[in-house]
Amino acid sequence: MALVRGRAGVRRQQQQRERAARAWETHPVTPGPDTNAVRDLVGWFRREGADLPWRRTRDRWAVLVSEVMLQATPVSRVIPYYNQWMRRWPVPADLAAATVGDALAAWQGLGYPRRARHLHAIATIVTASGWPSSDRYEDLPGVGAYTADALRCFADGQQVLPGDVNVRRVVARRFPGGWPGAPRGRAWDAGQAMMDLGREYCRARAPRCDGGCPVRAGCPAADAGVVDEVTPRTRRQARYEGSLRQRRGFLLRALAEDGRVPVASDPEAAEGLVAEGLADRRGSLLVSAGSAR
Ligand code: SF4
């Protein structure tokens, strides 16, 4: 698979424009109340931050696996999957030697299985060609702006704040003037601290402003009583029960257990899985992706 996809130049220009537009990530570090708040936040994180398996490494593959798994999935659910995955495929070459079906079977129950296929594709590319330079992480399959920035910050130690939905919410409430930057050499701690703050205190619903938030002092949103008003709106997730997504999940589970399932059991869901490379078709059967090769 080619590392650089078609129209890569145009895409890269667009990515550069998007990065420049995320001004809060590149805001110069200037002393002031906000930089003091970040320093307090980092201090709090170093004392009380959660001990998570992916925080014990700066290995790019491990960081990528954890970040992909954490997309739209709670930390507690990810931990056993992450541990199992990294035991089985500790380096990209191990996963590249497995089939997509193996990756999908290991992903079973985590949701959004396309992520497993992307990890398999990335493992194949990296094994064949090595990692791209950090300004080209977005060229990897399924790697968007957030995941690329997470690699830059959490694996490469660059002064970038990865802005997932939680971090964007915290920035909007606590740093409405823009992310002031992390203390020198503390970009990793600051990024992880923002994740914990968003999960434990600055939650989307019922934020714990007066329940121990480590950066409550001077918080503009809490002081003005406008926490809800300044919170960025997020799209509601479509209902899962009875959805096509759920039916595709049933088929993938059956494939993980038996390796094959009749297409006729749910032609629409089966067709979608084949179109996305999440399963292969052999005659009237749906089979695990990659098992026919
Ligand atoms: S005081 Fe409230 S709004 Fe401000 S950072 Fe803490 S939890 Fe978020």
Considering the domain 8-230 in this protein, what is its CATH number? Answer: 1.10.340.30
Q: What is the whole-number distance in angstroms between the Cα of residue 45 and the centre of ligand 1?
A: 15
pLDDT, tens digit, 9 for 90 and up, residues 105-153: 999 999 999 999 999 999 999 999 999 999 999 999 999 999 999 999 9
pLDDT at res. 5: 47
Annotated catalytic residue, options 67, 200, 268, 276: 67
Q: Is the CB of 69 under 6 A from ligand 1?
A: no
pLDDT at res. 29: 53
Q: Is 229 considered catalytic here?
A: no
Q: What is the whole-number distance in angstroms between the Cα of residue 179 and the centre of ligand 1?
A: 15
User: What does the mean pLDDT of the chain come to?
Assistant: 88
pLDDT at res. 291: 75
In the three-class reduction of DSSP (H, G, I as helix; E, B as strand; rest coil), residue 261 is classed as strand
In the chain, where does the domain assigned CATH 1.10.340.30 lie? 8-230
Q: Is the CB of 160 under 6 A from ligand 1?
A: no
pLDDT, tens digit, 9 for 90 and up, residues 159-202: 999 999 999 999 999 999 999 999 889 999 999 999 999 999 99
- Nearest atom (ligand 1) to Cα of 214: 6
Q: Tokens 């714990």, residue?
A: 208
pTM of the model: 0.81
The answer to whether 268 touches 274, Cβ cutoff 8 Å, is no
pLDDT at res. 77: 96
Say whether pLDDT at 14 is over 70.
no
**What span, in angstroms and rounded, lies between the C-alpha atoms of 149 and 26?**
12
